[in-house]
Amino acid sequence: MATIKTVIDEFQTIANAFTGVEEFMYDRPSHINGRLNEQYPLILVNSSPNHTRGDVNNSFLPRKKRFTLNVFCYDTYNEDEKSTTTLQTKQANVDELLDQYIAEVMRRNVSGSNGFYLSDQSNINGFVAHDVHNGRFVQSTYTINVYLDSECNTGTFNY
């Protein structure tokens, strides 16, 4: 059993352990623009995930609830770097960091022992981009589906 907090805590634990990443954020992608003191490369999980309630158990509570998360990897691409590193090289570097990060998320949660697992592992889609959030970043993004069984109870109702 898990909650979205369980999932995000695990994602943060992995990002904090990853030597290729300097920082983790659970926030909206638009908020990265106003943050001047962040360290890069940075993993950001969008704090507005979509979810599907999924199957229900005998108490009509959700089982296999699916959260669809957008996971971003950002790095700076400043003017001084542009003279020595091509855009496609920088994008490839950021994309590789995100692939390594997602691989570790999968590896640590393949059994579901943390209360959730990634589904559709061979069908994770995303994109790479540049000139995002004021032109100083390159990014790679994946949309992933996480399944978990809900920890909620039936609640109290007074009729």
- Neighbouring-strand partners of residue 52: 66
Q: What is the pLDDT of residue 135?
A: 66
Contact (CB, 8 A) for 118 and 105: yes
Task: Tell me the angle at which helices 87-109 and 4-17 cross, rounded to the nearest 10 degrees.
Answer: 120
In CATH, what class is 4-148? alpha beta
pLDDT digits (tens, 9 = 90+) for 110-131: 888 888 888 877 789 898 988 7
Which phi-psi region, left, alpha or beta, contains residue 37 (left: φ > 0; alpha: ψ -120 to 50)?
Answer: alpha
Q: What is the pLDDT of residue 36?
A: 67
List of residues 6+ apart from 138 with CB closer than 8 A? 74, 75, 77, 87, 90, 91, 94, 128, 129, 130, 132
- Give the domain ranges of the chain: 4-148
CA angle 135, 124, 6 (to 5 degrees): 90
Q: Reduced to 3 states, what is the DSSP secondary structure of residue 120?
A: coil
What is the mean pLDDT for each group of 10 consecutive residues in the chain (159 residues)? 89 97 93 78 95 84 88 92 93 96 92 84 86 79 89 83
Contact (CB, 8 A) for 11 and 45: yes
